């Protein structure tokens, strides 16, 4: 039996607490065109109305991105495509993308810098995209967050530039009336996430946080993605697990992390984390099986 086909028997699944179910309500999922192609029908895996981010990897033709978003919309999901500023060449290209997405029913977008060192054109950050006015009429415009810091922006590990940018985006949301949330990179440990969430509130940033968690996957897969994506100190959770021979044959799941965050949220209702965003690094089906058994099966979100 392959590792990615491993399923914990239903009778062994941990009970879902009310706190976990509350945190799972309105969870979202991330796909790419090539991973979405492997799914026959998303309605068999996700509650209707689930927000599904469509990740735009540099080099992916816009036609493939739009086709994936159109298919998700047709299957009753709420597609939210990525708009990575640094891979967009100019305003004309951005306007073309926005028009194509509008034409297939997209009304939500994730705005982000894009993670490449040298911009392909005139845009360097997500604030510049927001300022274009091209997204007027969209229902939601989400922005990126990094609980363990973003060394592409602040190599020395400070957070002043990031906090100032989030305040700017929060004011943009207030002045325009658009719904906005911060969707984050994944992490593996509750303590740094809680500290970051508290720091947001101390800085006056009240935008809700949709926290990224890595769905079930082989340990080697998670370590590879964590290193590539710049995950910080919480990587030690995986490193510690790698030393436990008894766990090497089991896929790593985010259950303990989610339980810890749900308990914290229950005790501190104002905690910044409001929902979960699942990165299906071990495959979409493995992640949707996990969400279904941890309170997400009936978690129909408000679009």
Which of the 8 DSSP states describes residue 293? I
What confidence score (pLDDT) does residue 92 get? 98
Structure tokens at 171: 């004011």
CB 209 within 8 A of CB 184: yes
Q: Is residue 33 part of a domain?
A: yes
Q: Is residue 225 part of a domain?
A: no
CATH number at residue 58: 3.20.20.220
Report the half-sphere exposure of 173 (CA within 13 A, side-chain side). Answer: 20
Domain of 150, in residue numbers: 3-217+250-296
CA distance 119 to 268: 40
Q: Is residue 232 part of a domain?
A: no
Q: Is residue 26 part of a domain?
A: yes
CA distance 262 to 256: 10
Q: Is residue 137 part of a domain?
A: yes
CA distance 148 to 188: 10
pTM of the entire structure?
A: 0.87
Sort residue 262 into left (φ over 0), alpha (ψ -120 to 50) or beta.
Answer: alpha
Q: Is residue 303 part of a domain?
A: no
What confidence score (pLDDT) does residue 302 get? 39
In which residue are the tokens 């996700």 written? Answer: 46
Q: Is residue 289 part of a domain?
A: yes
Q: Is residue 230 part of a domain?
A: no
What confidence score (pLDDT) does residue 171 get? 98
For each of the chain's 303 residues, which pLDDT tens digit applies? Answer: 233 333 333 334 555 679 999 999 999 999 999 999 999 999 999 999 999 999 998 899 999 999 999 999 999 999 999 999 999 999 999 999 999 999 999 999 999 998 788 999 999 999 999 999 999 999 999 999 999 876 666 555 668 899 999 999 999 999 999 999 999 988 888 999 999 999 999 999 999 999 999 999 887 777 776 666 666 655 566 666 655 544 555 678 899 999 999 999 999 999 999 999 999 989 999 999 999 999 876 544 434
- Alpha-carbon distances of 303 from 42, 47, 221, 230, rounded to whole Å: 16, 12, 32, 31
Which of the 8 DSSP states describes residue 117? S
Structure tokens at 80: 């939210």
| Residue positions counted in the chain | 303
Closest Cα to residue 234, out of 208, 261, 209?
Answer: 261
CA distance 27 to 278: 7
Looking at the 3D structure of the chain, how many domains does it have?
Answer: 1
């Amino acid at each position: 039996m392959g590792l990615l086909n491993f399923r914990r028997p239903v009778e062994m699944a941990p009970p879902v607490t009310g706190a976990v179910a509350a945190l799972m309500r309105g969870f979202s999922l991330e796909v790419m065109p090539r991973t979405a192609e492997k799914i026959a029908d998303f309605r068999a895996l996700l509650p209707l109305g689930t927000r599904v981010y469509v990740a735009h990897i540099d080099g992916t033709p816009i036609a493939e991105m739009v086709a994936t978003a159109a298919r998700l919309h047709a299957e009753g999901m709420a597609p939210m495509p990525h708009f990575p500023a640094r891979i967009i060449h100019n305003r004309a290209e951005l306007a073309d993308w926005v028009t194509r997405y509008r034409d297939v029913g997209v009304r939500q977008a994730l705005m982000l810098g894009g993670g490449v060192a040298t911009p392909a054109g005139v845009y360097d950050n997500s604030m510049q995209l927001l300022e274009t006015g091209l997204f007027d009429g969209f229902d939601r415009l989400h922005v990126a967050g990094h609980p363990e810091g973003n060394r592409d922006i602040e190599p020395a590990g400070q957070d002043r530039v990031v906090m100032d940018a989030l305040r700017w985006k929060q004011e943009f949301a207030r002045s325009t009336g658009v719904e906005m949330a911060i969707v984050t990179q994944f992490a593996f440990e509750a303590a740094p996430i809680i500290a970051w969430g508290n720091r947001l509130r101390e800085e006056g940033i009240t935008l809700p946080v949709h926290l990224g968690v890595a769905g079930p996957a082989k340990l080697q897969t998670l370590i590879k993605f964590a290193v590539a994506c710049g995950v910080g100190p919480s990587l030690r959770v995986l490193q510690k697990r790698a030393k436990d021979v008894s766990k090497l044959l089991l896929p790593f799941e985010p259950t303990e992390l989610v339980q810890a965050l749900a308990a914290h949220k229950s005790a501190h209702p104002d905690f910044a984390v409001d929902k979960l965003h699942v990165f299906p690094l071990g495959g979409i089906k493995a992640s949707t099986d996990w969400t279904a058994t941890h309170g997400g099966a009936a978690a129909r979100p408000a679009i």
